[in-house]
Amino acid sequence: SRLRKAPGRPSGRRMDPDTLRADIERERRRYDEWKDQLIDSPPPSSAPAQEPSGTVTRYFSHMRVMVLRWTSKISQFALVPPASPPVRGSGGAVEEGGGFEAAPRVMRVNQMDAETLDADLYRLLWSRMERLGRHLGREALERWSPELRAILRTIIFWNTTWKNRPTPGMELQNIRLTGTGKWETGPGSPYRVLTIQQRKGLGLLMIFFPWVVERVKGFMSDWQWYAFGRRSLRGIAYTSVDRLEQLWEAVAVVHFLLFLSGGSYRSMVERLLRIRVSYVNPRAHRALSFEFMNQYLVWRTVSRVLLFAIPLVDFGAAWRTMQTAVGMQGDADLRAGNGDESCGICGANPITIAVSAVPCRHVFCYTCLRTLRMETRNPTCPIPGCNRKVEGEERLRYHFKSLRQSEESKDDVKTPAE
């Protein structure tokens, strides 16, 4: 909706909001000066105070009507984006005195949290894509991994930035990218969207350029350009790429320090393309939730306690103690308790190296009883109903089963001779 023609201005011309504000402030100051001079100022001592004349009253009423008219016009004009861009400060915020109300500056923690969330989302999607790519084979996955990463970044970029939408991390932090495009009106102060040139440049520098660098480095590594001398063309190319990469990382560190001090641009790509970050809804408060952090701290503490305590627990002794308390007996325990010639722990039959526990004299394998004494501080006999402390073991030189087998073998040898 266009404004009505202002008095003293040519028709068919849109009014500038800065000029309109200046006119209103000038008229209000003039009104205050006249009021202070003619009414509020004390009268001279020689002359008595006089009431304002009819001319002064008419002037005051005319000024009041004029101020109300200008106020209604500025209220209508605020609903329409201005023809000239407002004065903006660092971070894309509109400064006071511009066409709109000053927007709050985007906090650095919001920008860093949004970038971290987007990186975590990308790693999560890439892990799922790697699982799907394992069916193609490890060699095929390693060969086409740069292209797959570029495709994944392109899908995320197409559904968010290219369509002037905030990324998932930005949406959670209530921020979005702003450029130098046309004006749009959101829930809070107006913002500019990214132009087509800015979006194309962002896609080239964030997707295409990393893919080219990764492919070039892989090609040089596969053909072993690093093995050539420094004077050869291939060696110079490999060294140049390595130096440029180191220089880029150093500049990125310096830029990050500048971001921490100023908070204007998150990356060098955004600084080159003049892309800033602004709030989607400036009136929304930052929601601080420590629920995830508390869960992480609790889980980390519990896991450390479990990793420290589990090796100290003797599950075998605990299981045998529970069996004795409940009255349960395993197959090995039943055989050992019934006088069978098997180990009371592992149930081995026959026992190759038989030992007897002191002082209960139950028979076990040497390895089973020795392991029980080494792993348990105060070992007790595992035979149900015994529960006597095992003070040592005694080697059985002639176990009854081996003795009986030897006697049977002697009888078998004597029978054919007879």
Question: Do 32 and 160 fall into the same domain?
Answer: no
Answer yes or no: is 344 within a domain. Answer: yes
Domain boundary among 279, 300, 331: 279
Confidence band, pLDDT 50/70/90 cuts, at residue 122: very high
pLDDT digits (tens, 9 = 90+) for 75-111: 444 333 333 344 444 444 444 444 444 456 788 888 9
Question: Is 363 domain-assigned?
Answer: yes
Q: How far apart (Å, rounded) are the C-alpha atoms in residues 159 and 316? A: 57
Q: What is the pLDDT, as a whole number, of residue 406?
A: 47
Domain that holds residue 334: 315-412
Q: How many domains does the chain have?
A: 3
Cα-based distances in Å from 212 to 21, 208, 245: 53, 6, 13
Q: Are residues 328 and 392 in the same domain?
A: yes
Q: Clarify whether residues 133 and 258 are in a common domain.
A: yes
Classify residue 338: in a domain, yes or no: yes
- Asked whether residue 206 falls in the same domain as residue 74, the answer is no
350: preceding bond cis by omega (within 30 degrees): yes
pLDDT in tens, 28-68: 777 777 666 655 555 554 444 444 455 656 666 666 666 65
Residues 204 and 242 in one domain: yes
The CATH number that applies at residue 319 is 3.30.40.10
Nearest-angstrom CA–CA distance, 89 and 155: 33
User: Same domain, yes or no, for 332 and 231?
Assistant: no
**One domain, residues 55 and 166:** no
Q: Is residue 170 part of a domain?
A: yes
Question: pLDDT digit string (tens) for 219-267?
Answer: 888 888 877 777 788 888 888 888 998 999 999 999 999 898 887 888 8
Among the residue ranges 259-263, 268-272, 317-321, the one predicted with the least confidence is 317-321
Q: What is the CA radius of gyration of the chain?
A: 44
* Within-domain flag for 285: no
pLDDT at 132: 84
Mean pLDDT of the chain: 73
Q: Is 277 helix (H, G, I), strand (E, B) or coil?
A: strand
Angle at 24 between CA 22 and CA 27, to 5 degrees: 110
Q: Is the pLDDT of residue 386 over 70?
A: yes
Residues 357 and 392 in one domain: yes
Q: Same domain for 75 and 117?
A: no
Q: Which residues of 274-298 are buried (b: 16+ CB within 10 A; e: fewer)?
A: ebbbbbbebeeeeeeeeeeeeeeee
> Could you tell me if 240 and 67 are in contact, meaning their C-beta atoms sit under 8 angstroms apart?
no
Among candidates 325, 319, 323, 350, which has minimal Cα distance to 335?
350
Note whether 259 and 112 are same-domain residues.
Answer: yes
290 domain-assigned: no
Give the global pTM.
0.47
Peptide linkage before 382 cis (omega within 30 of 0): no
* Residue 93 located in a structural domain: no
16 has a pLDDT exceeding 90: no
- DSSP H or E run through 395: strand 392-395
Mark whether 125 and 194 lie in a shared domain. yes
Please check whether residue 199 lies inside any domain of the structure.
Answer: yes
Q: Are residues 65 and 112 in the same domain?
A: no
Residue 277 has pLDDT above 80, yes or no: yes
Q: What is the pLDDT of residues 325-371, one digit of tens each?
A: 766 544 444 444 445 567 878 877 777 788 888 888 888 888 888 88
Of 394, 397, 374, 372, give the one whose Cα is nearest residue 383.
372
